[in-house]
Amino acid sequence: MKTIITYGTFDLIHAGHIHLLRRAKEMGDYLIVGISTDEFNKLKNKEAYHSFEDRKLILEAIRYVDHVIPEYSWNQKISDVKEYHADLFVMGDDWKGHFDFLKEYCKVIYLPRTEGISTTSIKNHMNNKW
Ligand code: C2G
């Protein structure tokens, strides 16, 4: 069984997230997603609209996702890859190069981001409307 792992905030789920999750899952059999906790988001200078619990609930309802774990630190990826025996780490290419240190432990693939959509653009659009 080929296990894939990826990480993110996944706030205000949109087509870009779904395309990423679908492509990641299509590369193997079992997709684990590390979803950023609200505390970790602060370290990423991000403030999600949905709580960690709701973002986790939504991710777990997506057909491509097999297991969701909390992402609480920048330093947990090596131990996660070992613990879950991940064969492949996948991220959007806005992160290209950032996680190459994982190449010692698993395959690392950066996928092209889906153009024209982002949580930030959704928030900005809604703010301008009301
Ligand atoms: N993504 C994408 N296309 C978009 C938007 C996002 O492919 N239009 C991808 C990102 O590249 C990432 C995933 O969807 O791989 C989740 O995106 P975010 O929730 O924005 O994740 P991010 O805040 O970048 O957190 O340790 C890694 C970090 O937790 C990644």
pLDDT in tens, 67-122: 999 999 999 999 999 999 999 999 999 999 999 999 999 999 999 999 999 999 99
Catalytic: 103? Answer: no
Question: 41 CB less than 6 Å from ligand 1?
Answer: no
DSSP class of residue 49?
S
pLDDT band at 129 (very low <50, low <70, confident <90, very high): confident
Question: 28 CB less than 6 Å from ligand 1?
Answer: no
pTM: 0.97
Closest atom of ligand 1 relative to the 77 alpha carbon: 26
Catalytic: 46? Answer: yes
pLDDT digits over 46-69, tens only? Answer: 999 999 999 999 999 999 999 999
Question: 114 CB less than 6 Å from ligand 1?
Answer: yes
List 6's β-bridge partners, or say none. 33
Residue 47 dihedral angles phi and psi, to the nearest 5°: -125, 110
Burial class (CB in 10 A: 0-12, 13-18, 19+), 31: buried
Query: What's the CA gap between 44 and 92, in Å, rounded?
Result: 16
Catalytic residue among 46, 96, 107, 123: 46
Helices and strands: H and E segment counts in the chain = 5, 5
Query: What's the CA gap between 130 and 125, in Å, rounded?
Result: 9
